[in-house]
Structure 1
């Protein structure tokens, strides 16, 4: 690990697809691409970039619809491929043929899709609290079987309307449980933890572009509980299981090593997620829940582990590390523990 903090520079990079705003540590070293999750930006990796070991080159883009990247619309019918193609195009613009990847939450879906489409470009993957390979919401078992044929309970209609409105208004208050600040401090991390960079992280959350074409996306009405099904545009539809399925990851022709890091007390990506309609219905928070036989909680961790076990059975390698007393953002909550796991892996695979 470097003894002195790395200088993190911000720049805009023109690719063949769009103008990408990035944070980076310069042009020296083996490239490591950091891909953020939903309702955040590359700013979530600022401290990690500052501490990146010598010999590694950090590059953290803002995804379209977040931060300061050109806000091209998101075609959700391509799953996460708008994002993964953007990242591949960024690599092309920087003349990078192969890179390591560190990806958080929905960002893990982006880089796993990139690995499916361009396996030779991936030297290794650090996946932090990764979204399920079968998307978010609407599936019932370890293999991602949908609860309903129209994938009701996933997509743009599942976002909390008050949270969305407060994001649009750049609300920095604590007056509501669904204010962006309270959601960040209550769900992105495990309370009572608060980051010393809380205001900068909140700026990042508030950089989320609100529209049907971005976050959360549009939706369709459904005759099935809970009454909403995926639309065709925007982030939450892009990782709806109607369009997003990473099952092909298990059979990659080239199999990069995977380091899976998660917090034991994550309430976002979990088999008992507080953002999953199946689990919320079971708790009684959403009326009309049809029961475990028709709409059980989505077993997100179980789904990820099942996919990685198939990956290993086909000759790949993964390692799962669980940090205790930690929520959805281990690299922010437990930076030393996260770096103790991630940095040696990156240095070992920087080739």
Structure 2
């Protein structure tokens, strides 16, 4: 696999950026500088992030592993192609299939973080046999994000009210568009929803001092494309609480429960073994996640909440566990690893534990 280095900002020594024309779009890819061979490991980032979040993990892997970290469309330095939300996460998973084909790679291990967990699972379902193993770190629920109840993902409202592009914090969108990490350029205090504050409060378990790579991570967040075709997407009005429903464009709509599903992994063949890694203190993906509008409604932060008997918090972990249990019963296998004092980003917060579990899983 020969890749031509491309100029890039925010790279750690030993990491190389390259551009690959997949036939679908041009994708930015990070690899280790000078590495030619090894067992390919695809590293797929989540929402409001990019491949830059994987650099330390890439450098810590043994020489016989070939880490490949692409930027998904709408993030990083990949071509800003629009996102058709009605396809769920398939725009992203089909992009990755085209990337692997362009690189001449198959029988690939895959690690997906948050939204990326749903992307790599969709890749395994729609392109059976391409992935050798799956590692899902804090993955989006198999029934999307928000407005479902019970372990089988039953819709609370038929129009999935309260999910999709209308659910983003407009101030965060404004700061991402302005590439303003702290709200100092555009004004307005206190900046509890700035990209940096969001990173500190939601991406990682809170600590007293900043992480050494925090500026790189925030720079990664600021590569997020904004608007109706990207983040957060468009929205429609709804008669149901809280008054909006998913549109058809952009990333948050692609994770709405009307479009985003990966519970059909139960039927895939062959069945790659699954490692599910999560932080015990994750506020983004959980059975009462801090970003679930039902949880915010219960806290009185969104007016008119009709009560948990009407709109209960989504049991995201229970839904994922139920699907993976069915997967195991159908002949697959999975392991759940829970790391204490850890938030939404175990590979950043507990790198040794994640690296060890990952290497054991792909061995």
> Which TM class, normalised by the smaller chain length?
over 0.9
**Separation (CA, whole Å) in 1 of partners of 2:288 and 2:269:** 33
Instruction: Return the offset for 1:54.
Output: 1.7
The answer to whether 1:315 aligns with 2:337 is no
The answer to whether 1:94 aligns with 2:103 is yes
Q: How does 1:284-303 map to 2 (within 5 A)?
A: 284-303=300-319
Partner secondary structure for residue 119 of structure 1: coil
Task: Give the TM-score normalised by the residue count of structure 2.
Answer: 0.93
The answer to whether 1:190 aligns with 2:205 is yes
Which among 317, 325, 328 is matched to residue 341 of structure 2?
A: 325
Q: Give the match for residue 156 of structure 2.
A: 147
Partner secondary structure for residue 31 of structure 1: strand
Greater displacement, 183-192 / 337-346: 337-346
**Separation (CA, whole Å) in 1 of partners of 2:111 and 2:36:** 18
Instruction: Return the offset for 1:8.
Output: 1.8
Q: Give the match for residue 233 of structure 1.
A: 249
Compared CA separation, residues 234 and 140, structure 1 to 2 (3 A)? same
Instruction: Return the offset for 1:211.
Output: 0.9
Instruction: Return the offset for 1:69.
Output: 0.2
**Separation (CA, whole Å) in 2 of partners of 1:194 and 1:90:** 35
Partner secondary structure for residue 28 of structure 2: strand
Once superposed, which parts of structure 1, at least 4 consecutive aligned residues long, lie more than 4 Å away? none
Question: Could you report, residue by residue, the CA deviation over 1:288-322 in whole angstroms, capped at 9, with x for unpaired residues?
Answer: 11112210000111110010001011011000000
**Separation (CA, whole Å) in 2 of partners of 1:7 and 1:52:** 12
**Separation (CA, whole Å) in 1 of partners of 2:298 and 2:323:** 26
Q: Give the match for residue 179 of structure 1.
A: 194
Task: Give the TM-score normalised by the residue count of structure 1.
Answer: 0.96
CA contact (8 A) 1:63 1:83 kept: yes
Instruction: Return the offset for 1:6.
Output: 8.6
Q: How does 1:1-351 map to 2 (within 5 A)?
A: 7-25=14-32, 26-173=35-182, 175-192=190-207, 194-346=210-362, 348=363
Q: Which residues of structure 2 form unaligned runs of 5+? A: 1-11, 184-189
Cα RMSD after superposing both structures: 1.2
CA contact (8 A) 1:6 1:49 kept: no
Q: Which residues of structure 1 form unaligned runs of 5+? A: none
